[in-house]
Amino acid sequence: MIKEGTLYDSVLKLKPAVGKSTKNICAYEIVTPGVPFSVNDLAIVVSLTGTLRNTKALSVSVQKSYILSIVAKHCDGLVSKPVMVNVQVNAMCANGWKELPTDQEYTPGNKPIFPFADTWFDTCSASCEKEETMAVTVSVESDGAMNTCDHDASSIQSQRDMCGASPSTVDLLPMGKSWTKDLKPVKGHEAAYNFDGKTAVKVPSENSNHTLGKFFTIATWMQHGLEKKDGHKEHILCMNRHHYALFVHNCRLVFLLRKEANQVKSLESFQPAEWRWSIPHVCDAKWHHYAISVSYPQVTLYVDGQAIQTDKEVVSVVDDWAMHSSSKVTFEQLTVGGCWKGESKSFGYFFDGQLAGLTLLTGTTETERTIKCMNSCGEKLQFNAMHKLTVGMSISFNTGLTELTIRGNDVDDVKMLLREVGYANTNGHPKPGYRTVRVKTNATCDGKPLPVQEQKIPILANAVVDPKITISGVGLKQRTVAEFALGVDVFTEVMILSDPGKELDNQENRINKLDIEGSSFTPLTCSPGHTVD
C-alpha cells in the first residue's frame, strides 16, 4: 500500500523465490503497459534485488489500485513466468465534508433531494480544544457553456412570456432572418451565436424603430473571454455616427448614448453620454445576462437580475456634447457584433464572444420584476428547519435562493443544519444535464484557520417525459338493426389511463391530470338497404 500524493524511492523489493539463485537474473520488467511504475535495473541495486517505485504521485480519484505483471529476465535471454503484484493507493486525509454523493439524480416535479443527508465533517488528525467557528456556503449552478437557464430559442421566448416581458420588445438576433442566417450558432443552442472578432451583421431598419428616446431597455445574454486589455473596443450593439453603442473595452462594459440635436436646447451644453462599468462578470468566460434600463439621465445596469451599485469605484460617467445635425449624413445603420463605418463602407470594432437573446425595448422600460424573473432558472436551495437554529448560529440566503450560508461555533450544530439543505427545480421542463452544488467551508481550529478545499456535488437533472393519456376500448360494436334502434351503450368498455398507468376513476384525478376534457364520435354509415330511425 502507498499513500496518494507521495513519491516513493522503494515501494517493494523483488527477489527470486526461495531456493532460486539471483546470479543469472540481470533485470526485472513490468509488462503491464501504461502504469506509473518502474523497476530499477539490478546493476544499481546493492542487494541484487529489484526495487519497485512509482514514477509520479498517485491519486485515489484517478485509480485506487494497480495490478502489475512483472517478469525476471535472465542474463542468457530467458524470461520467467509473470508474477502479479497488486499496489493499492490509500487516500490522503483532507479536511472537509465526508459522505457527499458523487453522482445524484433529480427528477423534475418530484420532492427536493437532500445531498447532505449523511454528511459529517472530518478534521483528520486535528483536535480542536478551543472554540471552533465555521461558515459553510452552498451554491447551485448549471454546468456547461451556457450555464444560466436554457438558452435555446424556445426557452428564451417562453421565459419572456412567463415573466410578462413587454410585447413591444424587439429581438435583434432572431432565428431564421436574413441578417442572422449566416451567423454560426453555439453548438447545441440555435439561438446563441458565435462572434469571432471578424463577423458583424446589419439589423434592417424595418425590423424596428432604432431611435432611442428617453425611456428604453437593452438586454442580452453574453459570454466574453478571459481578461484581454488590448485597447480594442468590441461592439455588441452599435448605431453608427456614435449615436449609441454597447461595447466591451479593456474588460469594462461601456454604454454610449449621445443626445440628438433636436433633444437639447443648446448644443454647447454637456450631457451624460458614456457609462463605464468595471465589473468582474465581463471577462470571466461565463454566460451572464445584462440589462441596461434607461430613464434618462438615470441609467441602471442589471447583471443576472441584480442591479449593479452606482458608486464611483464601479461605474464612471463621462459627459459630452449632443450630436450636431449634418446634411451630409443621409444613412445610419444599427449593427450587432461590430460597428459600421460609413466612409469606408466596412465593419470595424468587432466583438469576440457569444451572444443570445439580444433585445431592444423603446418608449418604455422593462420592469425590474421582469428582469429578475428572466434570470430565474427554477433551481433553488430549500431550507425548512429554521426551528433548529441554536444560540450563536445564523443562516442567510441570496435573493434568488441559489446560495445560502450557515454560520456557527460548533461543527455538529452546523452539520445538523447542513443536512436540512435541499435542492429542487421548480421549472417544469428544465434542460436535462448536470448541475453543480458547490460547498465552500471556512473553519478555524484553536483560533487558527483550518484549510478546507472547495467541494462539489454533481446533480443530474433527468429529462422530463411528457404525460400521456391513453384511451382504449372496443373498436367495433356489432349489433342488430333493432338493437341500434333502441340505443346501444357505446363507451361501457372505455378505459382512460394516465402516464403512470393509474385509472382516472375519480373527479380529483380528472382535475389534476386532465387540462381539457372532451370526446366525440361519429357512427359509421349503415350498409346499403339498412336504415336506423
Phi, psi of 52 (to 5 degrees): -90, 130
- Model confidence over 123-148: pLDDT tens digits? 886 677 666 789 999 998 754 434 44
Q: Which helix (H) or strand (E) holds 179?
A: none
**Across 361-373, average pLDDT:** 92
Q: Residue 433 to residues 150, 164, 188, 452, 464: CA-CA distances in angstroms?
A: 11, 27, 13, 28, 11
Q: Which helix (H) or strand (E) holds 488?
A: none
pLDDT score of 3 more than 70: yes
Q: Residue 140 to residues 285, 402, 441: CA-CA distances in angstroms?
A: 18, 6, 15
pLDDT at 263: 56
pLDDT score of 491 more than 50: yes
The CATH number of the structural domain formed by 2-90 is 2.60.40.60
Of 202-211, 295-304, 441-450, the range with the lowest mean pLDDT is 202-211
Handedness of CA 202, 222, 193, 294 (dihedral sign): negative
Of 126-140, 164-178, 343-357, the range with the lowest mean pLDDT is 126-140
pLDDT at 148: 45
pLDDT score of 474 more than 80: no
Higher-confidence residue of 38 and 61: namely 61
pLDDT at 518: 56
The CATH number of the structural domain formed by 153-374 is 2.60.120.200
Of 55-64, 142-151, 371-380, the range with the lowest mean pLDDT is 142-151
Q: Per-domain residue ranges for the chain? A: 2-90, 96-144+378-461, 153-374, 468-533
Confidence of residue 502 (pLDDT cuts 50, 70, 90): very low
Topology agreement, domain 2-90 and domain 153-374: no
Of 147-151, 284-288, 448-452, 457-461, the range with the lowest mean pLDDT is 147-151
pLDDT at 155: 67
pLDDT at 45: 32
Higher-confidence residue of 401 and 437: namely 437
Confidence of residue 533 (pLDDT cuts 50, 70, 90): very low
Choose the most confident range, by mean pLDDT, from 9-13, 241-245, 421-425, 497-501. 421-425
Pairing of strands 170-171, 352-362: antiparallel
In 197-232, DSSP assigns E strands to 201-203, 215-224
- Model confidence over 254-270: pLDDT tens digits? 999 987 655 555 556 67
pLDDT at 147: 47
Confidence of residue 512 (pLDDT cuts 50, 70, 90): very low
Largest CA distance in the chain: 114
Lookup: cell for 375: 434570470
Least Cα distance to 308 among 349, 255, 266, 263 occurs for: 255
pLDDT at 416: 96
Phi, psi of 26 (to 5 degrees): -100, -20
With left for phi above 0 and alpha for psi between -120 and 50, is residue 392 left, alpha or beta?
A: left
- Model confidence over 194-231: pLDDT tens digits? 999 999 999 998 877 788 889 999 999 999 988 776 77
The CATH number of the structural domain formed by 96-144+378-461 is 2.60.40
pLDDT at 143: 44
Q: What is the mean pLDDT of the chain?
A: 81
Confidence of residue 396 (pLDDT cuts 50, 70, 90): very high
Higher-confidence residue of 292 and 66: namely 292
Confidence of residue 419 (pLDDT cuts 50, 70, 90): very high
Q: From CA 61, how far away is CA 454, in angstroms rounded?
A: 16
Neighbour count for residue 529 (Cβ, 10 Å) = 5
Name the percent of the chain lying above pLDDT 70: 80
Of 126-140, 414-428, 498-512, the range with the lowest mean pLDDT is 498-512
pLDDT at 28: 80
pLDDT score of 20 more than 90: no
**Across 26-35, average pLDDT:** 80
DSSP sequence for 107-142: -TTSPPB-TTTT-EEE-TT----S--EEEEEEEEEE
Higher-confidence residue of 274 and 30: namely 274
Neighbour count for residue 329 (Cβ, 10 Å) = 12
Confidence of residue 152 (pLDDT cuts 50, 70, 90): very low
pLDDT at 144: 40
Of 162-176, 184-198, 411-425, 491-505, the range with the lowest mean pLDDT is 491-505
pLDDT at 407: 96
